[in-house]
Amino acid sequence: MTSIDVHELTKEYGTTRAVDRLSFRVQPGRVTGFLGPNGAGKSTTMRLVLGLDRPTSGSATIGGRSCAQLTEPLRTVGALLDAHAAHGGRTPRSHLAVLAASNGIPGSRVRAVLEETGLGDVGARRIKSFSLGMRQRLGIAAALLGDPRVIMLDEPSNGLDPEGIIWIRELMKRLAREGRTVLVSSHLMNETASFADHLVVLGRGRLLADMPMKQFLDSRSRPRVRLRTTEPARLHASLASKGLTGVPAEDGRWVIDGVTAAEIGALVAGEGIPLLELGDERATLEQAYLDLTAEDTPFAASPARNRQEA
Amino acid sequence: MTPTAVLHSEWLKIRSIRSIHGSLLAVLATTLGITVLILGTTGQEQAERPGSDVLLNAFFALTFGQIAAIVFGATAVSSEFLNGALRISLAAVPRRSLFYAAKMTAIGGSALVVGLVTSFTSFLVGQLFLGEHAIGLGHPGALRAVLGGGIYLALMALLAAGLAALLRSAVAVLGLLIPLFLIVPFVLVDVATEVVAYLPDRAGQAVLHQNPADGPGPWAGLGVTAVWAAAALLAGWWAIRNRDA
């Protein structure tokens, strides 16, 4: 079993603490979304896991071993950190051939990952002519090169077109189904909600949450019902008798806080109030995330935020 | 992960970027071109001048070729410092000393091969223009200068490569070495002639003289250049080992 284990990890740059006593484990077999505001320490954590930066204290291991101890590390962990890191003067084929040579990976894998990432036809073109989306695909190809058990991707959907975003989503889900450990950072909430099974959320270098996606959403949601009726006046009277108030929303809908659809359904059925629509409203990942990180965003435009609108 | 595999990977890195292997080929092209230009026009006149050093005349163009060798060593390393390329390299080869040793072996080895080809070819081609003044490899000191010239070019590439690992920029390396070679000797020559003879380029070029003036002898001078290169390589090794990527 190959998990990523981060234990009491701390990294200081001068007087700034980029990562602050961080502990979490990324399990195989699921996609773990790695969330946090800009500057929360996501990329730093990934570099520490890869042994590129030295921690001030604490440890980060892959399958119980630090990355520097791995022989042929690309066969254990593949990472996309920065799509611009590939030298523009090389071709995708030579970029991957360089990596394959050092880790004893056969040349057939270079062709295989180029095909898999849709770069099969441009393998001999210079990378400097590539769009950001194509560079992302090349970075993902490099991460998959050694057929690793652990995959870390830093903002992989940057610059991808809609087809590319769907492709990367399906790819990550497939990698997790194959039993691999997949850690993906992102700041796109709807994107993350569409692929992550589990979330690790950072704020100012500290761990804010480490839980399954569903639990995270439930823990940050307050019960709320949205409905449509032809007789708002009777509905109001009925709600008032239970100490509830409806707030008008767009399209003639009403929103009621603090109750579930089951409770409202029973109430209006008893009164014989006709309903055209009734449903529980769940927090989106975006709302839940903003609720959690409101105090931990170093570069927020404004401290006050209307969470209803967010 | 074997050292051979990492060395192979580093060789592929040099080969796959045109500006890097281009500057390596420029060592040969520049030296040969300038040799032909100088010896083809004023070579015979020079040779007739009393007290002229026939070896130095033959290898004069090497001082231009060394600029290309420095550019090669500096850019081969500085390409790792563009946009975080080093992170990709070290994620693949986390043993930093192995990574550094393989890179420097690939740079030094390819510079040595090209350097030896350059000094041999330039010497043999240059002599074709000198008519009766031409010398052969059997001339006293000629073989020594041919071998020494090739080694000198490789040492210059390694000096630049080590500095590039320390300074993380080819521009910084050229900004340091070019003035050191072209300006500092003229500033220092009156106050400290002895020091000038021990600068990395001046010391090593003694191997190209028939009769080196003052300062270290031919092989000793090359040894001084080797010490400079070794110091730069050690400084670069320290930087790669200890800095965050």
**Extents of the domains making up chain A:** 4-211, 222-280
Domain count for chain B, please give it: 1
The reported pLDDT for the residue numbered A167 is 95
Q: Taking CB atoms and an 8 Å cut-off, how many pairs form between chains A and B?
A: 90
The reported pLDDT for the residue numbered A299 is 60
Name which of A149, A143, A183 is nearest A65 in CA terms: A149
**Residue B213 predicted with pLDDT over 80:** no
Tokens linked to A74: 């690309």
Each residue's pLDDT tens digit, B163-212: 999 999 999 999 999 999 888 888 877 777 788 889 999 999 999 998 77
Record: contact A52-B92, CB cut-off 8 A = no
Record: contact A74-B8, CB cut-off 8 A = no
B5 CB neighbours in chain A (<8 A) are 101-104
- Domain A4-211 fold is Rossmann fold (3.40.50)
Record: contact B12-A91, CB cut-off 8 A = no
**Residue in B5, B17, B245 nearest the CB of A104:** B5
What are the start-end ranges of the E strands in chain A?
4-13, 16-26, 30-35, 57-62, 77-80, 150-154, 181-185, 198-203, 206-212, 224-229, 246-248, 254-257, 275-280
3-state secondary structure of B113: helix
A71 CB neighbours in chain B (<8 A) are 1
What is the Cα–Cα distance from A33 to A191, expressed in whole angstroms?
10
**Residue in A53, A70, A90 nearest the CB of B244:** A53
A99 CB neighbours in chain B (<8 A) are 9, 88, 92
Each residue's pLDDT tens digit, A266-295: 888 888 889 988 988 877 888 888 888 876
What is the Cα–Cα distance from B20 to B72, expressed in whole angstroms?
6
What architecture is the A222-280 domain classified under in CATH? Answer: 2-Layer Sandwich (3.30)
A51 CB neighbours in chain B (<8 A) are 90, 94
Tokens linked to B79: 């390409």
The DSSP secondary-structure symbol of A261 reads: H
Q: Quick check: A208 and A202 in contact, CB under 8 A?
A: yes
In order of A203, B83, B171, the CA distances from A67 in angstroms are 25, 22, 32
Each residue's pLDDT tens digit, B44-54: 888 888 888 88
Burial B18-49 (b: 16+ CB within 10 A, else e): eebbebbebbbebbbebbbebbeeebeebbee
Record: contact A102-B18, CB cut-off 8 A = no
**Residue in B1, B94, B245 nearest the CB of A53:** B245
ipTM above 0.85, yes or no: yes
3-state secondary structure of B141: coil
**Residue B28 predicted with pLDDT over 60:** yes
Unique residue bearing structure tokens 């050191």: B180
**Helix (H) or strand (E) run with residue B167 in it:** helix B142-167
- Find the residue in B nearest to A74 (Cα): B92
The reported pLDDT for the residue numbered A132 is 94
**Residue in B9, B20, B82 nearest the CB of A102:** B9
Record: contact A47-B244, CB cut-off 8 A = yes
Tokens linked to A138: 């090349």
Each residue's pLDDT tens digit, B104-154: 999 999 999 999 999 999 999 999 999 888 999 999 999 999 999 999 999
B82 CB neighbours in chain A (<8 A) are 87
The reported pLDDT for the residue numbered A298 is 60
Q: Which domain holds residue B206?
A: 3-242
Tokens linked to A229: 């009726």
3-state secondary structure of B201: helix
Name which of B80, B59, B201 is nearest A98 in CA terms: B80
Edge to edge, what strands does the sheet with A16-26 contain?
A: A16-26, A4-13, A57-62
The reported pLDDT for the residue numbered B139 is 92
Unique residue bearing structure tokens 């026009």: B41
The reported pLDDT for the residue numbered B18 is 94
Report the length, in residues, of chain B. Answer: 245
B94 CB neighbours in chain A (<8 A) are 50-51, 67-68, 70, 73
pLDDT (mean) for B56-67: 93
- Find the residue in A nearest to B95 (Cα): A68
Record: contact A89-B17, CB cut-off 8 A = yes
Q: Which portions of chain A are predicted below pLDDT 50?
A: 303-310
Record: contact A52-B2, CB cut-off 8 A = no
Record: contact A79-B17, CB cut-off 8 A = no
A72 CB neighbours in chain B (<8 A) are 1
How close, in Å, is residue A127 to chain B by CA atoms?
11
3-state secondary structure of B45: helix
The reported pLDDT for the residue numbered A303 is 45
What is the Cα–Cα distance from B116 to B151, expressed in whole angstroms?
7
The reported pLDDT for the residue numbered A297 is 62
**Helix (H) or strand (E) run with residue B200 in it:** helix B200-205
The one-letter code for the residue type at A19 is V
Pairing of strands A4-13, A57-62: antiparallel
What is the Cα–Cα distance from B240 to B234, expressed in whole angstroms?
10
Higher pLDDT, A285 or B225: B225
Best A50, A52, A130 member to test B by mutation, with max B CBs in 10 Å, is A52
**Residue in B2, B19, B90 nearest the CB of A52:** B90
Name which of A204, A295, A154, A209 is nearest A20 in CA terms: A204
**Residue in A68, A95, A99 nearest the CB of B94:** A68
B159 in the Ramachandran plot: left (φ > 0), alpha (ψ -120 to 50) or beta? alpha
B9 CB neighbours in chain A (<8 A) are 98-99, 101-102
pLDDT (mean) for B88-92: 96
A74 CB neighbours in chain B (<8 A) are 91-92
What is the Cα–Cα distance from B128 to B219, expressed in whole angstroms?
27
Pairing of strands A150-154, A246-248: unpaired
The reported pLDDT for the residue numbered A296 is 64
**Residue B217 predicted with pLDDT over 80:** yes
